[in-house]
Structure formats: C-alpha cells, structure tokens
Amino acid sequence: MGGLLDLDPGVVAKARHLATQAGAPVVALARAHTTVAVERATLRLAGITGADTAHRAGDVPWVNRVIDTVREHCGLEHGVVLPAFHALKEGDFASLTELAEATAAGQVQYRVPTGRAATSAAKAAKTAVAKGIRTIDRNRAQRDKLIAKLGDPPQRPWIYLIVATGDIDEDVVQAGNAARAGADIIAVIRSTGQSLLDYVPEGATHHGFAGTYATQENFRIMRAALDDVSKEVGRYVRLTNYASGLCMPEIAVLGGLQRLDMMLNDSMYGILFRDINPIRTFVDQRFSRQVHARAGIIINTGEDNYLTTADAVDAAHTVTVSQLLNEHFAHEAGLPDSLLGLGHAFEINPDLPDSFRLELAHALLARELFPDAPLKWMPPTKHMTGDVFHGHLLDGFFNLAGVLTGQSILLVGMMTEAVVTPFLADRDLALANVRYVLNAAGSLREDFRPAPDGFIVKRAHQVLGEAVDLLERIVDDGLLTAIADGTFGLMKRPPDGGKGADGVIEKADGYVNPAQLKLEAG
C-alpha cells in the first residue's frame, strides 16, 4: 500500500473484508424493510408538496396526512404508491396534493389494488417518481456546469463554515459574508431537536433554536443566495445541510430537488446520539444514500461525535471501524469514494504529552486508508475551555494538522466554542486563522515525512490493528449487538428501542417502490 505510514495491504484488505461481513446482515435487514420516512420520500419525489394549515395542532405536511391514512386503512407493507395512485385514479384527482386534501376531509378510502388496477397504479407512480428524479439529474448537471464556469476553490482543504441563527434570512446574510471572507462550504445547522420530528416543516422559517429548520423552501432560498455570491467571488460555493434523524430520506430528496452539495449522513449517529431506533436508521440511511448517489451529493459522516463522549485516544480505533462500516454501507448504496466525506476529529486532550503527534497519526491513518475520499476534518470542541486565546491557538494546531495530513474538508474551529453562538467577528477571526495557516504552510505536506519507526507510524499501525480486532468481534457478535453494548461513543442502544421504531414496516411480497427501483438501477 505504501504511503507515509507503510500500511500493510493485507491488514487493510482484512479490515475492509471484515467491515463487509459485519455490515451484510444490516444491509439484508434494510432491504427487507421500509419506513414511513422512505414512503414519504417516495411521494415527495412523485410531486406532493404543501401542508394542511387548518390542523388544530399546527401545520401537518400533506405527505404525512396521506402516509398515515394509508397505513391506517391498508398498511404500508406493499408500499404507499399502489394504494395512493390507485386512489388518485379512482377519485380522478388532478394531483397528489389534491388527493391529500380529500384525504384530510375523510373522502378517500385506501386499499391495495390487485390485477390490472395494481399494474396501472404502479405505472402511474413510476411516471410521477421519474419526474422527480429527472429534476435531481438536472440539478446535478447544473452544479457541474456552474463549477466548470465559476471554478472550484483553488486550494484544499475546502474551508467549511457553519451558520446558525434560526432565521433563514439572517443566515443568508451571514453565509454571504462568510463566503466573501473565504469560506468554500456553508453549512446551515438545523434547529435543535429537528432530527426528532417525524415530519419536515413547510416554508421559510424564522424561529429556529440554535439553528434554522431544514425545509425545502429554506434550501431553495439559501442555494439561490449562494449562487449569487458564487458569481461575485468567482468560485462555486457549496451548501450543506443535515440528512439525518427521523426524516433522513425526505431531507435527502429535498436536498436533491434544491441542489444541495453536501449533507450530513451517518449510518449510526442518529442511533447513538439521538436514540433513534437502529433498524429505522439503517433502513432510512440506505435509501437516503441512494438519493445522494443520484444527486452527486457528498455525504459527511459523524465519527467526530464519538470522541466527544469517549476518550479520543482509547477509542481511536472505533472511529476507524465506523469509517470502514460507513464506507461499506455507502458503496452498497451506490456512493463512490468521491462522494464519501468520512469524518474524524481533533479531540485529544491538549494537556496529554505528544497530543499533536497522536492527532497527526490518527489523521494520517484516515487519509491513507481512504485516499480517494473527501475526508471531513473536525475541529476541537471537547477540550475548549472558554479561554478564547487558548482556543484560537488550539484551532491553529488543528488547521496545521489538516494541512500536514492532506485533509479535504476543514470545518472552521471557533475560539468561542463552549461560550456563545459565534458572532460574525468570531467567524472572521477563525477564517483569518485558517487563511494564515494555509498560506504559511500550504505546501508543507511535501516535506512531512514521519520516521518509519517513529511514534506517528507506530501509533497508526496500533490503531489499525485494534480496529481489525474490534471488527472481528463485531462479525462474531453482530453489529446490532455491538451498538447495544456501547461499542461506539459509549452509547448503548438496543435494536428494539429508540424513537421511530413504530415507523418500521417489514415488506410484503409484492412491495412496490419505483423510486428505490430507479435509484438501485442507477
């Protein structure tokens, strides 16, 4: 395998083979089930939009209204499209949205059609879903066209910066200023708790908490604003949001329909850190990654989060194991390496002797294990003390590690981490820190050669060996058991627990989903 770490290709191949073995039962489980979110995502591809604004408890998206009613009337074991498109034809409705309005009024009785009626419904659904997928295809082509015209950022790593005001209009202002100051990627962090909502809000929003709601309209507004600023700064500025939580498949579809460029999408984050049912998560993430593959959206995985709850040295091998599992699940869903933004983080206690050398070993191991993946390197958070001067220095070391180890996407660290939500001035100072390091040490990687028998190389080999040992145990015991035992991030999540478990449905013979068929066909 070569490289600066001289990794043994046999050990690397064994690690990947074990990850495939560990992931296979989970993939089989995902193939055998659907979820309410997968079915909602399918109807969104077919064109349903809007919400029931007359509902006493608040707006209810029309797609939720249809899915819930179909499930009540005839179940979702055969998928939603057969009963929905059969009802659409029987009632002579002009659109799925009109069907939803009639559903809310109690005017529709759903059933699973058979024979010619089933064939007709499946054909109509296939046609409607194909329109949504064509929109995603056009957006991917438009992205390629804009990148060719405006150009990519001239350097790697790409500079990734978060905005999080709660108000989409204010986010637009902050995002534009960040891009002008050098940010290459703008991530609009979601409102606190949105991942636990089993619906996607409609429309533009101005009332999020520590973030802005992910909605189709908010996606459209921000993408249009970044297109304008891209022309101004002379490079294509990418947009990121979060395809995670209980609506992972739907948000992936909305991201594809509005030309987002990156989406956070991790196979285990929702399980571990949001207590979402494991089976629900694995089913939803497989469909969402199929959408990302079609849309050309780079996913960002969430291994950095493990190191906020577990020790970054003792648990380093769990990050590598998760990266290997994320790689397997991504490839199985059709995502190539070029869209695989595996995550890792600079979270070792800075008071530990040789902490920076350990960070270099871990970062370089990720880089050499996944040479073609756009790795996402995350800044320190766990050991940010509130001392902004110490934090600014630590972020500088983080930036330097990113340069030395060839990271692809660098999330900008904030000196006010753990103090306040960053102000514009904080972001400006953080970007200046990144710009200084990239300018002063941008080509230093050419001269970085860790000693063959030195600390960094030995540590990387140790972590890889521990990862192989853990994968062997996971293959023997099962990935769901490993998750239940607290293997990742010290979080124990049993397969039958967690939020959203009631939204998982085992597929019946004759299950129909034209979106899944189209996405799997490529």
Residue 97 shares a structural domain with residue 51: yes
Q: Tell me: the pLDDT tens digits for 487-505?
A: 998 899 999 999 999 999 9
Q: Tell me: the pLDDT tens digits for 224-280?
A: 999 999 999 999 999 999 999 999 999 999 999 999 999 999 989 999 999 999 999
Q: Tell me how far apart the alpha carbons of residues 170 and 518 are, in angstroms, rounded to a whole number.
A: 38
* Within-domain flag for 23: no
The catalytic position among 269, 284, 395, 426 is: 269
14 is catalytic: no
* Within-domain flag for 69: yes
CB atoms within 10 A of CB 509: 6
Residue-wise DSSP of 93-123: -SSHHHHHHHHHTT--------HHHHHHHHH
Q: Tell me: the pLDDT tens digits for 172-221?
A: 999 999 999 999 999 999 999 999 999 999 999 999 998 999 999 999 99
Residue 54 shares a structural domain with residue 93: yes
The catalytic position among 304, 306, 426, 499 is: 304
Residue 268 shares a structural domain with residue 403: yes
Residue 389 shares a structural domain with residue 425: yes
476 is catalytic: no
Residue 302 shares a structural domain with residue 363: yes
Residue 71 shares a structural domain with residue 201: no
Which of 75, 97, 129 terminates a domain? The answer is 129
304 is catalytic: yes
Q: Tell me how far apart the alpha carbons of residues 174 and 479 are, in angstroms, rounded to a whole number.
A: 41
Residue-wise DSSP of 456-503: HHHHHHHHHHHHHHHHHHHHHH-HHHHHHTTTTTT----TT-SBTGGG
pLDDT tier at 57, thresholds 50, 70, 90: low
Which tokens hold the place of 162?
């978060």
The catalytic position among 261, 284, 376, 395 is: 376
Q: Taking a C-beta distance cutoff of 8 angstroms, is the pair 306, 489 a contact?
A: yes
* Within-domain flag for 514: no
Is residue 522's pLDDT more than 90? Answer: no
Pairing of strands 262-264, 298-300: parallel
* Within-domain flag for 91: yes
* Within-domain flag for 318: yes
pLDDT of residue 308: 85
Q: Tell me how far apart the alpha carbons of residues 220 and 153 are, in angstroms, rounded to a whole number.
A: 23
Residue 279 shares a structural domain with residue 340: yes
Which of 436, 458, 480 terminates a domain? The answer is 458
Which of 458, 485, 516 terminates a domain? The answer is 458
pLDDT of residue 411: 96
Residue 234 shares a structural domain with residue 346: yes
Query: How big is the CA angle at 421 (ends 415 and 424), to the nearest 5 degrees?
Result: 75
pLDDT of residue 115: 97
pTM above 0.75, yes or no: yes
For residue 392, give the CATH number of its domain: 3.20.20.440
Q: Tell me how far apart the alpha carbons of residues 355 and 314 are, in angstroms, rounded to a whole number.
A: 13
Q: Tell me how far apart the alpha carbons of residues 427 and 432 are, in angstroms, rounded to a whole number.
A: 9
Residue 353 shares a structural domain with residue 435: yes
- At residue 306, what is the residue type? Y
Domain count, the chain: 2
Q: Cα torsion at 147, 45, 520, 344 (round to 10°)?
A: 50
| Mean pLDDT within 2-30 | 96
* Within-domain flag for 489: no
Spatial CA neighbour of 292 closest among 252, 260, 264: 252
pLDDT of residue 56: 60
Residue 255 shares a structural domain with residue 381: yes
Q: Taking a C-beta distance cutoff of 8 angstroms, is the pair 365, 463 a contact?
A: yes
SS (H, E, C) 251-280: HHHHHHHCCCCEEECCCCHHHHHHCECHHH
pLDDT of residue 156: 86
Higher pLDDT, 59 or 175: 175
Is residue 289's pLDDT more than 70? Answer: yes
Most confident region among 267-271, 416-420, 456-460 by mean pLDDT: 456-460
Q: Cα torsion at 170, 176, 177, 179 (round to 10°)?
A: 140
- Is the Cα torsion angle 189, 193, 197, 201 positive or negative in sign? negative
Instruction: Give the CA distances from residue 433 to residues 105, 172, 398, 440, 493, in Å, rounded to whole numbers and listed in that order.
Output: 58, 23, 10, 11, 39
Residue 113 shares a structural domain with residue 199: no
Residue 101 shares a structural domain with residue 202: no
* Within-domain flag for 511: no
**Range of 57's domain?**
35-129
Q: Taking a C-beta distance cutoff of 8 angstroms, is the pair 183, 431 a contact?
A: yes
* Within-domain flag for 392: yes
